[in-house]
Structure 1
Amino acid sequence: MAFPSPASNQKWRDCLCKTEPKRVKIRTVSILVALTLVPAAISENQEEPTEDRQHEREELGVNAYTAPSIERIFAQLDQLRPLPFDQLKRELPQSIVAGREHKGLVFGGLIADGFLIVEAERKNLVENFGRVLMEQARALGVGDRVMRHSASLTELGRRGEWQQVRQELISTQTDVEQAMIELRDEKMAHLISLGGWLRGLEISAGAVEIEFSPPRAKLLAQPDLADYFGAELKTLPPTLAHLPLFEKIRASIKKLQPILGKSPEALTRADIGLIRMEASGLNEAIRRGE
């Protein structure tokens, strides 16, 4: 058997040197094409569930108001900084024996209390807030949804990473809302939002009243939200709508609607004081279950 001559071997090596870069180039292009196509395929596969989820939300009446607007409330509080925390804070809720709808209102108010803690950047209060949030979530039957967020809130708060804490609060409400959607319980989504809006309204009105100016007062012109929740309360089942607590909420929102519906430039210090008083009274009633 004859072996290739040294000259033949050299020619073979020269040939390999010329063709190998082409092979590498072809393989590299193939990998890049694959990496380009895979995310597109994943995105295409994920698009339908997202559309289905959005359709389900709209079908159940869950929209920009029924989740409200954690980011909207944050944006409003951002414009009122620095917040007089000691004058706006309140004790976090204790465990209560109440109907599920009442617990939904309490949970929404607790989320708003979390906004205040985050806006004021109170590290020493975040851990207790996370614990109470978890207790209230369990009472609503959504403890599994909130557990991860509660732990993350506590850790991020300890480190003072407030932007991330804000995001966790937003994610918390999103997950709770999604749990209600999956249970096809849109009324609970509305009530959680209502509780959050009422406490957020009290905080905002309090901050404006303490340091009043027409530009700050403009932030409280919220006719859309007042009208929305006023209309939504009319759709509650009679057994719920005629409970003293819900009758009180309905009457107070009706009283607030013409004030919140004023031209933003027309809101006076007296108007702001009335908004705060009504919202504060409702939030106290929710806490007491009256």
Structure 2
Amino acid sequence: MIRLTKLCLLALAASVLAATAATDTARLSAAQLKKAVRSDSISIPTPGELFAALEKPGKTNWSAQYREPIPMTYRNRAQIALNLGGLVADGFIAVEAKDSQQVKNIGSDIIKLAKALGVSEKLLSRSSSINEFAENNEWDTLQEELEATQNEVKSSMQSHADQDLVILVTLGGWIRGTQVVTGAIMQDYDERSAKVLRQPALVRFMQSKINEISPELRGEPLVKDVSEQLGEIQKLVSFPPGKAPTVDEVRKVNEAVDKVMTEIESKELPK
């Protein structure tokens, strides 16, 4: 399993871009993910944390969660940021699957979208490291190096006053990560794994973060649409404490996040 780090997902953009010295990490258990969180200290789980929290018996077929390549020609910055977050989740899937070619493919796509958002060349120039680790199947080292770049990417975007984009990348990663987790649970249902989907406080928190971004960006059709659909997703993940969602309830969550991801990926933005 991927070693875990608590912090903003945006930083994971570097996940598939670079390598730096290792940083301290902390594992997040399924129990921790399911707890109600404080509004001032909530930590949005990264795709890697979501995947690790599955605690599924047996081996998860990660490659079954791959998707078709997405367009690399988006012009809308909000849409680029949301898709960048989704690609970061794809990078974690490839690492879990120990698929070196897929890691390199996703890394290349992340670089393209990151450049469109103006992520610093300092980070982009490190991309060869990911290829080297993948080529040599150094998965433990790769996982550590992916995590070690998180704060640097976050810092890079925040220094350019792009906190709004940090929020959207984080959101895009969570949506794609939840799509993958629900897909994996449906593939081989397990009650213990399904309980990780109870995240109503987390979804409310993400909605509150969307409300903090600039009025101009918040008013964009895609951002408005994603925000509205989060409200529906919140209802679907509000299972009673201690109760595992049924297969049908998991399917409904999967369908809801599928719908959001389809709109995020689409070249035709909502009107």
Of the three residues 236, 246, 263, the one matched with 1:268 is 246
Pair 95,80 (structure 1): closer, same or farther in 2 beyond 3 Å: farther
Q: Secondary structure at the match of 1:94?
A: coil
Q: Secondary structure at the match of 1:165?
A: helix
1:41-69 Cα shifts (integer Å, max 9, x gaps):
xxxxxxxxxxxxxxxxxxxx997636x53
Write the distance in 2 (CA, Å) between the matches of 1:73 and 1:146.
Answer: 25
Of the three residues 118, 127, 138, the one matched with 1:150 is 127
Pair 208,70 (structure 1): closer, same or farther in 2 beyond 3 Å: closer
CA radius of gyration, larger in: 1
Could you tell me which runs of 5 or more consecutive residues in structure 1 were left unpaired when the two chains were aligned. Answer: 1-60
**Between the two proteins, what is the percent identity of the paired residues?**
27
Write the distance in 2 (CA, Å) between the matches of 1:154 and 1:63.
Answer: 35
In the superposition, the TM-score normalised over structure 1's length comes to 0.71
2:35 paired residue number: none
Counterpart residue identity of residue 205, structure 1: T
Q: Secondary structure at the match of 2:208?
A: helix
Write the distance in 2 (CA, Å) between the matches of 1:151 and 1:62.
Answer: 37
Counterpart residue identity of residue 251, structure 1: E
Aligned residue pairs total 229
Could you tell me which runs of 5 or more consecutive residues in structure 2 were left unpaired when the two chains were aligned. Answer: 1-38
2:186 paired residue number: 209
2:262 paired residue number: 284
Counterpart residue identity of residue 257, structure 1: Q
The residue correspondences of 1:79-228 to structure 2 (distance < 5 A) are 79=56, 82-228=59-205
CA deviation after TM superposition for structure 1 residue 73, in Å: 3.1
Bigger mean CA offset, 274-283 vs 195-204: 274-283
**Bigger helix share:** 1
Counterpart residue identity of residue 254, structure 1: G
Bigger mean CA offset, 206-215 vs 245-254: 245-254
CA deviation after TM superposition for structure 1 residue 249, in Å: 0.9
In the superposition, the TM-score normalised over structure 2's length comes to 0.76
> Relative contact order, CA 8 A, sep 6+: which one is greater?
2
